[in-house]
Amino acid sequence: MTCDLNLSGEQRQIIDAAAAMLRTEYPVDRRRRWVADDLAAAAAFGMFGLGLPEGDGGAGFSLVEEALVHVLSGRHLVSSGSLATALGARLARAAGHAELADRLVAGEAFVCAGVPAGDSVLLMERGEAAFALVFDNRDFELREVGAALASEESALGHGASVERIPRVSKGVIARSAEPRMLAIADLLVSAQLLGVAEAVRDLAVAYAQVRQQFGQPIGGFQAIKHHCANMAIGAEMLSCQLDMAAIALRDGREDGAFQVAALRRLAPHVALANARLSIQVHGGVGFSAEAAVHHYLKQAHLLSRLGSAADILDLPAPLAPLVRVQERN
């Protein structure tokens, strides 16, 4: 079989293993009190070297497996440092900082995500991270972050810490505008957004099955069903496109950039739309800080700030017609 979109046995294994690790180490309930995640357990699992070759201290999996694991990471609301460290290790390796790459893969050092904001950078959930990966529109840079803080703020009020540092060139270790590196970042960011979109769908469906009103579970009402169906459509669409993009990028196909751009464009729309619908299905509880669903909404906003989103209109479409319509009629 040359075309087969079923998960392979090996893919199922890694997904099952990652899911078990995340259930134990990063249960969603931990987010009731939001502190930056200790990413040591994720590092011990091998999360930051999944896609690196075995010779480089990685696990030698492909981008497809790595993306699938980041979907699960998104479902568990793991700190954005999980993305930044995985990408930072890649960037360090590509820039010739092999020792730093090894330390990141081994969980001896961590990277947090940085979002440019005017002439400063917002460090998201820095925790123990000594490095930051700053996502700009068309490139990203790996930099050291010093101990001194300019200020500390709270992201969207859900407890994740945000530190503002000045944007200076001092401390920059590596910078990349390499298209493949940017595409990998967009792929993994989108994978986590898909995790958010799936998690809020499942939360809403589970709640609609137990919450009773007018003597029946609210999931029996069509208005609720249709909200849930819309979440399912969005998640399915994104999941299929994630597979397509990951395969294209893994195999070095010429439509790789197009597929990733399509994915990255849809991912924030779907994650945010699903989070909105899920809050709605939860009713009053959904608006409370008690329920987990608002954390997913905020995570979706955060993740949406990361990565570049190449303009899909600049890329050749794989299914472009062979003759222009004007030449036909």
72: contact with other proteins by CB under 8 A? no
120 lines the binding site for other proteins (CB under 8 A)? no
Q: Binding mask 192-211 vs other proteins (x if CB under 8 A, - otherwise)?
A: ---------x---x--xx--
Tell me: does residue 273 bind other proteins (CB under 8 A): no
Stretch that binds other proteins, among 113-121, 122-130, 224-232, 300-308 (CB under 8 A): 224-232
Under the binding rule (CB under 8 A), the answer on residue 322 touching other proteins is: yes
Is residue 309 left, alpha or beta, with left meaning phi > 0 and alpha meaning psi from -120 to 50?
Answer: left
Nearer to other proteins, 8 or 288 (CB): 8
> Taking the complex as a whole, how short is the minimal distance between the CB of residue 88 and other proteins, in angstroms?
27
Residue span binding other proteins (CB under 8 A) among the ranges 88-96, 109-117, 174-182, 256-264: 256-264
Calculate Rg over the CA atoms of the chain.
20
Alpha helices for 251-324 (secondary structure H): 256-282, 284-287, 293-304
Beta bridge partners of 163: 123, 152
313 binds other proteins (CB under 8 A): yes
Cβ–Cβ < 8 Å for 307, 189? yes
Residue 317 engages other proteins in binding (rule: CB under 8 A): yes
252 belongs to the binding site for other proteins (CB under 8 A): no
Strand partners, 134: 114, 141
Q: Is 92 in the site for other proteins (CB under 8 A)?
A: no
Minimum CB separation of residue 47 from other proteins in Å reads 20
Count the Cβ atoms, other than its own, within 10 Å of residue 247. 17
Q: Which residues contact 318 (CB under 8 A, 6 or more apart)?
A: 255, 258, 259
d(CA 243, CA 235): 12
Of the candidate residues 180, 225, 276, 305, the single one contacting other proteins (CB under 8 A): 225
Residue among 165, 238, 300, 306 that touches other proteins (CB under 8 A): 238
Asked if 113 and 306 count as a contact pair (C-beta separation under 8 A), the reply is yes
Q: Does 329 bind other proteins (CB under 8 A)?
A: yes
Residues 6-45 that bind other proteins (CB under 8 A): 6-8, 11
Q: Which residue, 85, 255, 275, 143, is CA-closest to 197?
A: 275
Q: Which one of residues 251, 285, 287, 288 is an interface residue with other proteins (CB under 8 A)? A: 251
Q: Does 4 bind other proteins (CB under 8 A)?
A: yes
Q: Is residue 215 involved in binding other proteins (CB under 8 A)?
A: no
Long-range contacts, 25-34 (Cβ 8 Å, 24+)? 26/76, 26/77, 26/78, 27/76, 28/76, 28/77, 28/199, 28/292, 29/292, 31/77, 31/292, 31/295, 32/290, 33/159, 34/158, 34/159, 34/160, 34/295
State the residues that interact with other proteins by CB under 8 A.
1-8, 11, 64, 201, 205, 208-209, 216-217, 219-220, 222, 224-226, 228-230, 232-233, 236-238, 240-241, 243-244, 246-248, 251, 258-259, 261-263, 265-266, 269, 311-313, 317-325, 328-329
